[in-house]
């Protein structure tokens, strides 16, 4: 039997595991921060029409530069951004992979502050970029001084920040981003996958783009828009950054169907984003309920909550699964992450928590 070990695999990929949040068929799935609400009927109809209109022309390649979609995305972001500042791909994961291909890669380094999004080091590995695992503070916070000291030590070619941070949920203090931009000569990528869920008054890094050509903000339609299955992520940056990623993107990477579906979804954004407030309410309910019973919880600006388990988190994760509630072990000892779903899912989680947590 041939296994991976028998193949002439790249040495730097040997022994690595693929990204693998379990996709289990259980009643309550709160493990990958999806939006629990299905796409509303009116939006299903609009997307269906838009996709239908493309079908006869599928003999032709799609618009390679997705200009109409990028124009719509820029309009959604505001901040005076235009299509020239925006780039789109099949999920923000692909956008970040393209950024690593363009600005990092073999002989170069990327740095991130863990615990953070587990895909950042995996994307670095896939692009032959050496990963530098910098750390957040013991309370999962990150101060400007701490961030700058670690960047000065390693001088990375690309820095990942994640705000609100996955898995801790907390948004970045803007002074940290200012300090990081001043401390590095490399690219600074702020992953804002959860920006739409931030508490009022939380600033986006979009506001800093004008003066900072090495700053890139990545966003996604996978979370707040409830469009994870549609695969659409994007970035906003100086137009020169868009020129750079076009050097490495596959031609026609974004299918005509994806472009049409994403444009239709964006046009219906009021209906899609209507779930955001309901989800934030459930997030705050989880935080409040867990704290009221004495469970330690990290502040959350996202659609998920990181909470302390007291005991070995993998056993606690299994105990939730045994009660039909799938949550996420993000590999942070003594902590687990739960997605804020609909009210019934939240109730199922909190009922299980009452039985399981001390
Ligand atoms: C979910 C998530 C994404 C989304 O990735 P897509 O490829 O756009 O689905 C990006 N960054 C973080 C931190 C996430 O948690």
Last residue of a domain, one of 239, 271, 303: 271
Question: Ligand 1 centre and the CA of 302: distance in Å?
Answer: 12
Ligand 1 neighbourhood includes 91 CB (under 6 angstroms): yes
The helices-and-strands tally (H runs, E runs) of the chain is 12, 11
CA dihedral sign of residues 185, 141, 119, 339: negative
Note whether 197 and 304 are same-domain residues: no
Do 291 and 229 share a structural domain?
no
User: Does one domain contain both 53 and 191?
Assistant: yes
Evaluate: CB of 192 within 6 angstroms of ligand 1: no
In this structure, the residue with its CA closest to atom 14 of ligand 1 is: 193
Of the candidates 232, 248, 271, which is a domain's last residue? 271
Are 168 and 211 part of one and the same domain? Answer: yes
Provide the phi-psi class of 136: left if phi over 0, else alpha when psi is between -120 and 50, else beta. Answer: beta
Write the CATH number for 299. 3.90.1150.10
92 and 53 fall within a common domain: yes
Structure tokens at 154: 């390693």
Specify the pTM.
0.96
Domain boundary, last residue among 271, 287, 307: 271
The verdict on 17 and 122 lying in the same domain is: no
Q: Assess whether 211 and 80 both reside in one domain.
A: yes
User: Do 75 and 168 share a domain, yes or no?
Assistant: yes
Shared domain check, 312 and 257: no
Statement to judge: residues 247 and 331 lie in one domain: no
CATH for 251: 3.40.640.10
Per-residue pLDDT of the chain (358 residues; tens, 9 = 90+): 888 889 999 988 888 878 777 778 899 999 999 999 999 999 999 999 999 999 999 999 999 999 999 999 999 999 999 999 999 999 999 999 999 999 999 999 999 999 999 999 999 999 999 999 999 998 899 999 999 999 999 999 999 999 999 999 989 999 999 999 999 999 999 999 999 999 888 999 999 999 999 999 999 999 999 999 999 999 999 999 999 999 999 999 999 999 999 999 999 999 999 999 999 999 999 999 999 999 999 999 999 999 999 889 999 999 999 999 999 999 999 999 999 999 999 999 999 999 999 9
Q: Which atom of ligand 1 is nearest to the CA of 231?
A: 9
Do residues 289 and 191 share a domain? Answer: no
CB contact at 8 A, 220 and 34: no
> Nearest residue CA, atom 15 of ligand 1?
166
**Residue of 94, 165, 193, 279 to mutate, ligand 1, most atoms within 8 A of C-beta:** 193
Residue to probe by mutation, ligand 1, list 89, 160, 223, most atoms within 8 Å of CB = 223
| Domain match, 200 and 329 both | no
Count of domains in the chain?
A: 2
Where in the sequence is the domain holding 12, given as residue range(s)?
Answer: 4-39+274-356
CA of 166 to the centre of ligand 1 (A): 9
Question: Token pair 């700058």 is at which residue?
Answer: 148
Helix (H/G/I), strand (E/B), else coil: 297: strand
């Amino acid at each position: 039997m041939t296994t991976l070990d028998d193949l002439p695999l790249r040495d730097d990929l040997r022994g690595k595991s693929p990204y693998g949040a379990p996709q289990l068929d259980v009643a309550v799935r709160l493990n990958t921060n999806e939006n629990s609400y299905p796409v509303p009927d009116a939006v299903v109809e609009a997307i269906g029409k838009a996709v239908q209109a493309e079908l006869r022309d599928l003999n032709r390649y799609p618009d390679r530069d997705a200009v109409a979609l990028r124009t719509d995305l820029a309009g959604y972001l505001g901040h005076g951004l235009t299509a020239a500042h925006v780039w789109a791909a099949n999920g923000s994961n692909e956008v970040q992979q393209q950024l690593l291909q363009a600005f990092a890669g073999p002989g170069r380094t990327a740095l991130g502050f863990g615990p953070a999004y587990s895909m950042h080091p995996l994307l670095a590995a896939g692009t032959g970029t050496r990963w530098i695992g910098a750390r957040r503070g013991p309370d999962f916070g990150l101060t400007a001084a701490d961030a700058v000291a670690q960047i000065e030590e390693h001088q990375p070619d690309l820095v990942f920040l994640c705000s609100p941070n996955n898995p801790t949920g907390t948004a970045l203090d803007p002074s940290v981003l200012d300090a990081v931009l001043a401390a590095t000569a490399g690219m600074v990528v702020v992953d804002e996958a959860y920006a739409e869920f931030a508490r009022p008054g939380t600033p986006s890094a979009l506001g800093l783009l004008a003066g900072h050509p090495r700053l890139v903000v990545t966003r996604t339609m996978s979370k707040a828009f409830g469009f994870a299955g549609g695969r659409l992520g994007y970035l906003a940056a100086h137009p020169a950054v868009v020129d750079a990623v076009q050097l490495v993107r596959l031609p026609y990477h974004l299918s005509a169907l994806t472009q049409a579906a994403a444009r239709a979804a964006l046009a219906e954004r009021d209906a899609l984003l209507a779930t955001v407030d309901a989800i934030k309410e459930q997030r705050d309910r989880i935080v409040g309920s867990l704290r009221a019973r004495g469970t330690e919880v990290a502040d959350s600006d996202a659609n998920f909550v990181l909470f302390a388990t007291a005991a070995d988190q993998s056993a606690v994760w299994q105990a939730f699964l045994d009660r039909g509630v799938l949550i996420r072990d993000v590999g942070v000892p003594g902590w687990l992450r739960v997605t804020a779903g609909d009210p019934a899912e939240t109730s199922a989680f909190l009922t299980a928590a009452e039985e399981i947590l001390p």
